[in-house]
Amino acid sequence: MSKSTVMALAVISMLRFFPAGAQAPAKEGSLTITQMELGYPCPNIPYYHFKAALRLPHPSIIGVEAFVNGKPLRATDLRRTAGAEDPGRPPIAGRSPSGYGMAQDVTLYEQPQVIGWVHWLPGQRYTIRITVRLKRSAGDSSADVLLTASRTLEAPPAPVFSAGWKSYKSVVVSETAGLDRKDEPVKVLLAFYPDEDHGLKREVRVVAFDPVTHGVTEVPSQVYDVQRSLEKDDLAPDKNGKATRHIPLWLPTVTARLVFLASVPARSSRVYLVYYNNEKAQDTIYRTDLRVQGEAPGLQVDNSQFTATLSPNSGHLDQLILKSRPDAPLFHRMETNGAIHWNPDLYAPPRPWTHTSDWAPPAHVHSLAGPVLANSEVWGPLPEVKEADASLRYEFYTGVPYFISSTSMRINGTLNCLALRNAEIVFKRELITHAAWYDAVRDSVIIYDVKNMADLTDLRMEADVPWITFYNEDSRIGFAGIQLEYANTGLESDPRLLNPFFYITAGPWIYWARGLSHTYLSSNMQQVVPVMKGSFYSEKWAYLIYSPEKGRPPYAPVIDWQKKLTHPLRTQLVEEVDDRVSKTLEEVYMNDGKSGWEGRNNKK
């Protein structure tokens, strides 16, 4: 073999190892891995990972790439130093894949920490190679220096979830109210690629990761509301044959809601892993206490705490029974439709006073039954008033003594109203002896004997009353409303609310309601208030059925549940960067103006 041939082969070998645009490591010191390990999920790094502590030959701007058994990782987490964040809390800083092509990092690193997502399996060996590019500015240049180091590690022996599931997402669940949470429902929205969807309702599994034993335990979960957006971006050239763009602006996507039961100690965070992408997964049945019977909208929903019956005409709450007090059912059945729950409603004479509970049936009905969540949704135009659309949604969960009610109303054409109301709950008068609520003006809890109040007396409180309860001191049954959300807005104009308030009224029935504009109960009860086109009203309440406890105030359970329900478990979704994600991302602007990134100086 000639000398020239040997030199040519050496050049080819170097080109094979260093692809176009890369440089061989320069002799400028070395990259030292001071520590490397394969780690378990924790709230700060909520996935199976490697973590490497590095030492550079001198402080430098850097770029880092990691390879696991020869395969490059699409994204790594680069931290300035080890111990920068609390391992028991979700991460604060992070750079999305879209940022890799735009965002600048001119930090000078010397002893950085590199973290990468690794699907390691117990007992298997993994060679992890890290390449660091030493740079003088944020951008790459021919003057950059490449340093490389690697280690081979054996994965710990602790068991992981079945290898049949190819992918998982992490959900960090955090408790913020100082209360231990046990089997509390948590909802998240997830996105998938179409080729990862083999029947999401069948294949998704949720497991709780134990931070002490490092074991995993499957928890009851439920997938619902699967939506598919399968249109592809058109990358065809324009009419002149010029490329419009080289990477798609979007990729086909499948989204789904997930609800699962989470247990989190007070003031802490826990990791839940959502496994998917298993075409061979079998259906699984979670045994819980949640049961749904009947035909929508007239459903009966049971859990271990109560039985709720919905009206077969309107789908509104018609009767409620606390399982521990079966001899004390709550109902109304006195006026017109007879339901317990009446709103949204409005009164625009000469048309009749109209409520969503007057639907017979609603224009639209939808229901869902599962082991964790059952819901009922009804919506459509208000009876006799086609200028207004309204909706009602109930959410029932396994194992809890409350359900969630969400209502909304949209005004499509301006109406002159004597009453515009929401959040009305009505019971037969004889079933209730007392009412209690928190009074913000007096900063105290008001307890009122409603059994002996005069008919059509109004008890008024602030419109944003945080909670209110009816109870019977003899039958020891209570029903409470805990306000979760309350919003009024408008498209064409600000919402026009005349003296909004919350109130209780008694007659042959007793009810509470929110008056948004309610001249019907004012001193000048025949004055009309225009409710403007484009106005939108929404509310979200938790309705709690309970038995007052001896030795405690009759409203004590309401305050306990209010603290929980107004401080729900917080979630943070963390996902692996998929191989198909582009390394740069274009944005579509309305004009040819500046992006703000032009001429940015990133040199140190």
Over residues 160-199, the pLDDT tens digits come to 898 899 999 999 999 999 999 999 999 999 999 999 999 9
State which of 286, 303, 320 marks the end of a domain: 286
Task: Answer yes or no: is 603 within a domain.
Answer: no
Percent of the residues in the chain that have a pLDDT greater than 70, as a whole number: 93
For residues 303 and 257, state if they share a domain.
no
Task: Give the CATH number, domain containing residue 139.
Answer: 2.60.40
For residues 249 and 267, state if they share a domain.
yes
Task: Answer yes or no: is 3 within a domain.
Answer: no
For residues 413 and 543, state if they share a domain.
yes
For residues 305 and 281, state if they share a domain.
no
pLDDT confidence band for 18 (50 / 70 / 90): very low
pLDDT confidence band for 138 (50 / 70 / 90): confident
Over residues 427-465, the pLDDT tens digits come to 999 999 999 999 999 999 999 999 999 999 999 999 999
For residues 43 and 137, state if they share a domain.
yes
Buried b (16+ CB within 10 A) or exposed e, 467-504: bbbbbbeebbbbbbbbbbebebebeeeebebeebbbbb
328 and 475 Cβ atoms separated by less than 8 Å: yes
Task: Answer yes or no: is 100 within a domain.
Answer: yes
Domains of the chain: total: 3
Task: Answer yes or no: is 465 within a domain.
Answer: yes
**Dihedral, CA atoms, 13, 15, 16, 21, nearest 10 degrees?**
160
For residues 382 and 468, state if they share a domain.
yes
Q: How far is CA 138 from CA 60, 112, 113, 134, 173, in A?
A: 10, 16, 19, 10, 35
Helix or strand or coil: residue 6?
Answer: helix
DSSP class of 561? H
Task: Give the CATH number, domain containing residue 417.
Answer: 2.70.98.10
pLDDT confidence band for 119 (50 / 70 / 90): very high
> In this structure, what are the phi and psi dihedrals at residue 278, rounded to the nearest 5 degrees?
-140, 100
Is the whole-model pTM more than 0.85? yes
For residues 441 and 479, state if they share a domain.
yes
Greatest Cα-to-Cα distance within the chain, rounded to the nearest angstrom: 114
State which of 236, 251, 286 marks the end of a domain: 286
Least confident range from 240-254, 281-295, 535-549: namely 240-254
Residue 3 has pLDDT above 60, yes or no: no
246 and 189 Cβ atoms separated by less than 8 Å: no
Task: Answer yes or no: is 344 within a domain.
Answer: yes
Q: How far apart are CA 529 and CA 549, in angstroms?
A: 44
Task: Answer yes or no: is 582 within a domain.
Answer: no
Contacts of 156 (CB under 8 A, 6+ apart): 38, 40, 122, 214
State which of 231, 266, 286 marks the end of a domain: 286
What is the model's pLDDT at position 586?
Answer: 75
For residues 135 and 194, state if they share a domain.
no
Name which of 79, 112, 109 is nearest 95 in CA terms. 79
pLDDT confidence band for 20 (50 / 70 / 90): very low
What is the model's pLDDT at position 604?
Answer: 62
Q: How far apart are CA 458 and CA 73, in angstroms?
A: 66
Percent of the residues in the chain that have a pLDDT greater than 90, as a whole number: 79
Residue 105 has pLDDT above 90, yes or no: no
Instruction: Residue 324: count other Cβ atoms within 10 Å of its Cβ.
Output: 15
Contacts of 59 (CB under 8 A, 6+ apart): 108, 109, 110
Least confident range from 18-27, 433-442, 518-527: namely 18-27
For residues 272 and 410, state if they share a domain.
no
Least confident range from 8-17, 208-217, 379-388: namely 8-17
What is the model's pLDDT at position 163?
Answer: 87
Least confident range from 82-91, 355-364, 440-449: namely 82-91
Task: Answer yes or no: is 578 within a domain.
Answer: no
Helix or strand or coil: residue 5?
Answer: helix
For residues 376 and 454, state if they share a domain.
yes
For residues 144 and 236, state if they share a domain.
no
Least confident range from 53-62, 88-97, 98-107, 178-187: namely 98-107
Over residues 211-226, the pLDDT tens digits come to 999 999 999 999 999 9
Task: Answer yes or no: is 67 within a domain.
Answer: yes
Name which of 228, 59, 216, 221 is nearest 132 in CA terms. 59
For residues 275 and 302, state if they share a domain.
no
Average pLDDT over residues 535-556: 97
Task: Give the CATH number, domain containing residue 195.
Answer: 2.60.40.1180
The tokens of 250 are what? 């979007």
Parent domain of 305: 291-548
Residue 543 has pLDDT above 50, yes or no: yes
What is the model's pLDDT at position 603?
Answer: 65
> Is the model more confident about 457 or about 603?
457
What is the model's pLDDT at position 102?
Answer: 56
